Chain A
């Protein structure tokens, strides 16, 4: 399940929902990304490409399910203006075994960072600026391709 929303999400409820009612789901791994308030950062605005965002996130869900034996996947990404400390993204998976769950949650985040069409603008007292993509993020996302071979 994927969702894009401007409202806050309830990480506890999202986590509870993962694999709920499926007794095979021996573990759940989750990741929450928050707005990091360093260097005087006050807030961020997240812009996205409607329709393409959902399409790419659904692709990522299909890929991660094909790659690891998962029982459930939930990816929630927020858009709009978010203050420092607010949650931006939730990625969670349920699986029978923790190795699969940890790896799958890691994969989802590496792919969302570099492939889902979101752009962040940082707001500071000194002004606004667009975040530049980190080369390390591209390398992390590409690293999964190398592991497949």
Chain B
């Protein structure tokens, strides 16, 4: 296929197409015609000249026989015989080159064939001219007119067959007609002189006609050449188009509008559907669509003149129900195919990705369940013991239970963080945005962290200048955000310190700040504090635990709720993390 294409490329290059002149400029172009065009012209001239030879020879035989027969009473036998012999030689010579041309056309270049033709046509013209010498009847106007009529008639007929090459035409008519002019001129008297003049004018007219005819032929040949080139270019483009489609790794099919039967498909298309060509060609593609509504929607949109891009489509072959369905991102465009309106569809196979997504979802769901079930038991049991629901534990045992409980909670948070991050990365976190007062949520977040604060011996204060202010939030996710910020502040606060939470209106936003007086954040860590798995101290012996996902998740959640997050911190002087949400109702 590649070789085929390259061979086509040789027939016409882009620069040739770009230099095509307008029809008005053809004459000028012809004067500068290239060697290629000359060669094409010569071949065409030779083809037409030699092609017309048999008929011309027959015509010559008939006319020469008729001439001699009619003039027999007034011409000498010897002259008639000699002339017929000469005519016979000339005609046989022309017949010979005709046969030679037909058999060995490719042996000689077209210009050589033209030269040979011109030599024989001069001979033929001379023989006809000799008729004027041999048969011109002095003072017999009737035969003079007949002779002039025959020779002029032969010349006229010759022009039609010799028109492609003006040199051949002139090579015939000049030697054929000039002797006649000469004899009329020498005859004396008004009538012969007038006839001689008319024959001369006829000669000039025929010469001019031959020049014009050859020019027309050149233009004709040139235009045919251009048309051929354009046809080749069109064919080449069509082949290139098919080549690209045939080898395209994306599945492509073209269907006619109307019944939408498939008129073209590439290998990737049948491979995608795992179908045989006869299960595809000439068939309305609606049968491959699992959801027929998808197809109807697409047809409707295309009917409205719209293109359809990246539509998730589920395909199958109904005859093969055991095969898994294919998921594709499909694009549809209206095109013209083989002169008729059509639709081209591109189908990017994403079945594997969909399958992987499903497997991942199932995996996440299963892991989530399988890990949480034993964790529920462990942290539940330990929680009851640590929370004092069951009493009577020795102090040391209580201490150990507290430790175990704390770490079971840590493990729970770790699993939750990992699952949350996965969901955020996949864009699967759904938000239930509602207008609400923010203070009750902050108070709930503080309550939920009270035990942890107590265990760290850190106090929490809350101050607000605008407790009634309402914002649009997902309450569950906002609680998660606050839990992260508060637990971080508690984690990094020294013993007996206080974490301050303030709520203020700033411009058109409500800002909630969580302020700790811990060790602060090193300047070099500021740029990546919200990145995943980031911790200022990532050494194996870091004193504070955590996955390094908390702030990354928090930032994602805040931004998805339409808010923003930031912080101010100087190392050694604590840190202030704040979130801002626009004030107002939905």
Are both chains from one complex? no
- B residues lining the A interface (CB < 8 Å): none
